[in-house]
Chains A and B, each alone.
Chain A
Amino acid sequence: MALLEELKGLGSNVDEGLERFMGNAALYERMLRKLPDMIKKTDVAGAFADGELKEAEERAHALKGATGNLSVTPLYEGYTKVVDLLRAGQPDEAKAVYDGMTSVQEQVIACIERGE
């Protein structure tokens, strides 16, 4: 369970996540391992860079759902704010929140990819 412990250290509510997966730790981990790939494919940074705000909102929205279900709390909270700000028509603030969460996101990705 090294992976779950590490994620907990990064602020994830893994107990809640495990409960959501009906106590099935193997499945929980398997789904967690799909997250880095999803984050890379769901390119929010690229959408911001291209000024595609609608696209950025949809991508952030998809990641909000997935990270929420996985209880990767810091990312879930970050994407929730990004979506809310974009929806409220505050793209600069949204971008700032997004930039602020990239380092923890990279830590999460590294942690999952490194995990046994």
Chain B
Amino acid sequence: MSELSVNHLLGIKYLTKQDIDLIFETADQFKEVINRPIKKVPSLRDITIANLFFENSTRTKLSFELAEKRLSADVINFSASQSSVKKGETLIDTVNNILSMKVDMVVMRHPNPGAGVFLSKHVNASIINAGDGAHEHPTQALLDSYSIREKLGSVKGKNVVIVGDILHSRVALSNIYALQLQGAHVMVCGPKTLLPKYIKDLGVKVETNLKKALEWCDVANMLRVQNERMDISYFPSTREYTQQFGVNKELLDSLNKEIVIMHPGPINRGVEITSDVADSKQAIILNQVENGVAVRMAVIYLLASKIKQ
């Protein structure tokens, strides 16, 4: 019988290929569950999960909450803006206070890279990283790979380009790890200022010409420019960024094949991707959102099964 090799989901870096396969096989079953007339199963009736969001989120938070509720877990939500963190409480104190209310699992988003790893060493609960600064966002990478697998049959051997603000993106790093683990070829494309200096060391191709990148790839994952993480100016203007790194219908039609367009959201329409592309049948953006719930259900279910009674 298979089970995950880890007790926490802190990053794709800590997973094996077998873990990803198990998560996807379990997610297949949950995808069927969430398309039933009654979309709920009772597995996690005796599990309580705290969603701790120290940074804003819409999609991820809703998706996790829905996944937890569809598994019948009890859910408590916490967002830093309305909490005692403002009064100077430390992360460990905050979490330990929550855990003393008998919480079994913590889903955490935090602006500091490594916050999940730190927490996993100091508290007694299963931790799921829902994004730690510009480090990792493992469930997003899992749902991206799951969506590619669903659309193209498999991830192995596919050419995937990640376009945009690689420097500030946790989605990019997690995706690179996840895609490589499954045998895909990965390229990053963006303005030089937004590509990390040593990104090649991860074994990815680097391209600064979007057209060439799109001609090479089977799948393009378009990332948002993360203005909120930028303290200096990385490119002259948004208009210039769009001209060089935005995907539009004309550009897609000029390719001699049909590629799959992905976006982790939130989309800045007209910046990294135009509306006609985002709403076209080549885009699987909304499938990604649906798959997000199934994949998160699988992750939570598999981690919960390792929590001893």
Task: Tell whether A pairs with B.
Answer: no
Which residues in B have some Cβ–Cβ distance to A below 8 Å? Answer: none
